[in-house]
């Protein structure tokens, strides 16, 4: 784990908390971690979504980064194991839970092994989807 990325992520969360901001903002530290984790993935694109950045593989959503955490698409049948990890909760959008998606808090995604496990599970689910 690169200390500069961790520091940027922690600084982003502290600034957001201290300012009382309610809107979502980008987390450039998390974006850098995801770019590193996904560097060798073919068919990868980025798009502004969810109040942050999202990564797609072959046109299918894979994961996202925003100031309140790492969003990961695991599929409805594969989210239970991730929800057992402290700091991982169901993703909520517009006040409604999005089945098959989870949100990992910073304490989870700064752990290289946990982040990689979540990303690999998202890639495995993504491979089961038809290309768009």
**pLDDT digit string (tens) for 105-115?**
999 999 999 99
- Mean residue pLDDT across the chain: 87
pTM: 0.81
Q: How far apart are CA 62 and CA 101, in angstroms?
A: 10
pLDDT tens digits, one per residue of 70-129 = 999 999 999 999 999 999 999 998 899 999 999 999 999 999 999 999 999 999 999 999
Share in percent of the chain as helix, strand, coil (round to 5): 40, 30, 30
Q: Kindly report, residue by residue over 5-33, the tens digit of the pLDDT.
A: 555 555 554 444 444 444 457 899 999 99
Q: Which fold has domain 3-127?
A: 3.90.1150
Pairing of strands 96-104, 69-73: antiparallel
């Amino acid at each position: 784990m690169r200390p500069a990325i961790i520091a940027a992520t922690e600084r982003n969360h502290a600034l957001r908390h201290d300012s009382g901001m309610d809107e979502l903002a980008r987390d450039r530290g998390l974006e850098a971690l995801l770019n590193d984790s996904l560097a060798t993935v073919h068919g990868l694109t980025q798009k502004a979504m969810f109040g942050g950045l999202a990564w797609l593989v072959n046109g299918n959503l894979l994961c996202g980064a925003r100031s309140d955490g790492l969003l990961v698409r695991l599929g409805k049948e594969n989210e239970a194991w991730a929800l057992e990890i402290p700091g991982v909760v169901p993703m909520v959008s517009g006040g409604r839970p999005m089945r098959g998606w989870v949100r990992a808090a910073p304490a989870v995604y700064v752990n290289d092994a946990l982040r990689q496990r979540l990303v690999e599970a998202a890639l495995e689910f993504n491979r089961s989807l038809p290309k768009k």
